[in-house]
Amino acid sequence: MSINLTPNSIAAINGGDLNLKPLVQVLDIKQIGTSQERYRLLISDSVSTHHAMLATQLNDRVKTGRVKKGSVVQLIDYMCSDVQNRRIVVVLNMETIVLDCDIIGNPKLGDMTAQKTVSNLNSAQPGRSVYDNRGNIQSFRPAFNAQNPGSNNMQGLQTNPLLQSQGMQGSRPMLMVPNGSNGVLRSATGKNNNNTQTYAPTVQPAYQPPPSYRNQGPIMKNEAPARVIPISALNPYQGRWAIKARVTAKGDLRRYNNAKGDGKVFSFDLLDSDGGEIRATCFNAVVDRFYDVIEVGRVYLISKGGLKPAQKNFNHLKNEWEIFLEAASTVDLCPEEDGGSIPQQQFDFKPISEIESAENNSILDIIGIVISVKPSVPILRKNGMETQRRTVGMKDSSGRSVELTLWGDFCNKEGQNLQELVDSEMFPVLAVKAGKVSDFTGKSVGTISSTQLFINPDIPEAHVLSDWFARIGQNSAAVSISRDVVPSGSKNEIRKTVSQIKEEGLGRSDKPDWVTVKATITYFKLDSFCYPACPLMIGDRQCNKKATRSGTRWVCDRCSQEFDECDYRYLLQFQIQDHTGLAWVTAFQESGEEIMGYPAKEVYQLKHEAQDEARLSDVFRSRVFYPYLFRLKIKEEMYADETKVKITVVRADKIDYSSETRHMLDTISRFRRY
């Protein structure tokens, strides 16, 4: 049994037919390249041969022996490039059809690719063009660029999948054919020899008229400027492309150090008139070229850049690709008239009420009126670095307010600006692009490195909002979604009975459960109802860490300071009961004071200094058997080797009979249906 390879496929490939998906035989495999592992195949169509480079993502096919000398393969995806008058074929994807096979036909070694050409390939510039048989230029960009020093550096900086493993398997490059007509090839694929078995390719190529090989005149390079395409159409298989876009964000110049030495990088975000967005990144020498050229708000014509998958961890733009600019890339400033149709910024605002249901760590844009600004507080980060934090309260027409946490530079620049505006009662509109949702205390939004803040932006949403605020908003109450306290009666409140806490396994997921329970205090744990706390201030908050005795004084580990008097804060443990069951809960200072009615210090003194047992038990006894509407935070925690479900009383409200009745009537009406 012998196999028929696709006749004349070598000539067809060289002629520019990239859709043939021919069957060829691998006559030889050689490893080339000093710094990078590259394989060079000698492929045959049984009559002629040609060298083809194997894309590095296919390297393991050779290494694991899935392709050997003599293997018959189907070339699924491949490109032709022209380097110094040599035609180089690059195989991007192929399928091994027959692993071991004798040499088919009588191929002549028609294309002796010299070592020199291969090394040229290694240092080749992107944006090579290829010629088809009629002298028309079809430009191709090799989507992989293993030789590019820039991309290699990035591996040290970020966990970036190599360009080569982009998932190009099976996908076909899109040809930018200026005048899209190909000639006709007379092919003999239709005829079957009776004696030989025609091996049908496993992937049927789509019908395409094969190119003709009539030679026509000298080959000319297409010098026409690349067409401007929408950002949304950009992909690595694009031929020559150009985009016209406005810079919406410019990142900082960052220096890094990895195995290959020192490097620097910066990125900027682009927006075009169709609303498409994409990030562009420059490394090392390219940074020097463009860092000063790029200005936020100006429009540029950008071309001849590479495309790779976007890193979702850092890049929150809605595009699966990112541009990386290289030595051959061009960035030309456009006059402002050109960019008339390109907006300054693109937002996708969500109402604050929707933040409640947003996923933790998701990125979104919000706009609101700033109603409060707290002073900056120094925060010690996990890596030991100190940074600033500042909280800003925002509300919008959805009737909800949220806390926006500013980090780092935002505190001093925009934060200070906002403070001054709020202090002078000129409550500004603040638009946040790319803020991160956090569920640390209720739901809040924090800034990240790619966040942008716009104070009183000149956009329609801002005008609508300030109008709403002037007429209604400044006098209306807004429900905060950011405190851990959610006022009763709001839609968010989940009512549970005591038994449901255990029955439903509340607190066992990775996020704490917040519920409201109406129950009565039935028993207080009398020993250790409070702890000595450090009274020193850290920013605008008291330290409150447990202080330890140091002779006649006290010392705090966190503040590393001694002080004479410590504060006493509640750590109240008690039992609550309702008609379904009982549970142990813990209340801290705020809710503890609400329940006890006395500050912790007084009760402590009663116990330890006055030693008045009688009065002490009186105090506790007087607080027992009162019903409360408890707001509970339930979370499973590890203690030594066990996990225990801990219930914390975040708030204890006296029952308001009127609203409680209404709540019960409401519950009854829902019960009624069954």
Catalog residues that contact other proteins under the rule CB under 8 A.
Answer: 657-658, 660-662, 664-665, 668, 672
Q: Shortest Cβ distance from residue 364 to other proteins (Å)?
A: 40
Distance (Å, rounded) from C-alpha 192 to C-alpha 242?
47
DSSP letter string, 299-322: EEEEES-EEEE--TTT--SS-SEE
* Inter-residue contact 328 to 269 (CB < 8 Å): no
Distance (Å, rounded) from C-alpha 493 to C-alpha 487?
8
Q: Shortest Cβ distance from residue 654 to other proteins (Å)?
A: 13
* Inter-residue contact 519 to 578 (CB < 8 Å): yes
Q: Shortest Cβ distance from residue 516 to other proteins (Å)?
A: 17
Nearer to other proteins, 165 or 667 (CB): 667
Nearer to other proteins, 179 or 658 (CB): 658
Nearest Cα to Cα of residue 397 among 350, 363, 359, 356: 350
Q: Shortest Cβ distance from residue 665 to other proteins (Å)?
A: 5
Q: How many CB atoms lie within 10 A of CB 290?
A: 17
SS3 355: helix
Nearer to other proteins, 403 or 653 (CB): 653
Q: And the tokens for 127?
A: 């944006």
Q: Shortest Cβ distance from residue 625 to other proteins (Å)?
A: 14
Distance (Å, rounded) from C-alpha 78 to C-alpha 130?
13
Nearer to other proteins, 203 or 664 (CB): 664
Q: Shortest Cβ distance from residue 657 to other proteins (Å)?
A: 5
Q: Shortest Cβ distance from residue 673 to other proteins (Å)?
A: 11
SS3 103: coil
Nearer to other proteins, 207 or 657 (CB): 657
Nearest Cα to Cα of residue 405 among 435, 450, 359, 447: 447
Distance (Å, rounded) from C-alpha 652 to C-alpha 70?
80
- Angle of helix 613-623 versus helix 589-596 axis, rounded to 10: 90
Q: Shortest Cβ distance from residue 655 to other proteins (Å)?
A: 8
SS3 34: coil
Instruction: Encode burial over 300-330: b for 16+ CB neighbours within 10 A, e otherwise.
Output: bbbbbbbbbbbeeeebbbebebbbbbbeebb
Nearer to other proteins, 472 or 664 (CB): 664
Nearer to other proteins, 183 or 627 (CB): 627
Query: CA distances (Å), 163 to each of 304, 342, 364, 637, in order?
Result: 17, 31, 28, 43
Pairing of strands 627-639, 537-538: unpaired
Nearer to other proteins, 639 or 657 (CB): 657
Nearer to other proteins, 274 or 660 (CB): 660
Nearer to other proteins, 261 or 489 (CB): 489
Nearer to other proteins, 382 or 672 (CB): 672
Q: Shortest Cβ distance from residue 658 to other proteins (Å)?
A: 4
* Inter-residue contact 497 to 553 (CB < 8 Å): no
**Helix, strand, coil abundance in the chain, percent, nearest 5:** 20, 35, 45
* Inter-residue contact 448 to 410 (CB < 8 Å): no
Nearer to other proteins, 255 or 662 (CB): 662
* Inter-residue contact 16 to 132 (CB < 8 Å): yes
Torsional sign, CA 145, 146, 149, 151: positive
Residues whose CB is less than 8 angstroms from the CB of residue 325 and which lie 6 or more positions away in sequence, other chains included: 280, 281, 282, 286, 290, 302, 305, 306, 331
Q: Shortest Cβ distance from residue 481 to other proteins (Å)?
A: 29
Q: Shortest Cβ distance from residue 664 to other proteins (Å)?
A: 7
* The total number of residues written for the chain in this structure: 674
Instruction: Encode burial over 182-212: b for 16+ CB neighbours within 10 A, e otherwise.
Output: beebeeebeeeeeeeeebebeeeeeeeebbb
Q: Shortest Cβ distance from residue 453 to other proteins (Å)?
A: 46
Nearest Cα to Cα of residue 649 among 664, 621, 623, 628: 628
* Inter-residue contact 120 to 81 (CB < 8 Å): no
Radius of gyration over every alpha carbon of the chain, rounded to an integer in angstroms? 35
Nearer to other proteins, 383 or 658 (CB): 658
Q: Shortest Cβ distance from residue 533 to other proteins (Å)?
A: 38
Q: Shortest Cβ distance from residue 523 to other proteins (Å)?
A: 23
Nearer to other proteins, 148 or 516 (CB): 516
Nearer to other proteins, 639 or 674 (CB): 674
Q: Shortest Cβ distance from residue 670 to other proteins (Å)?
A: 13
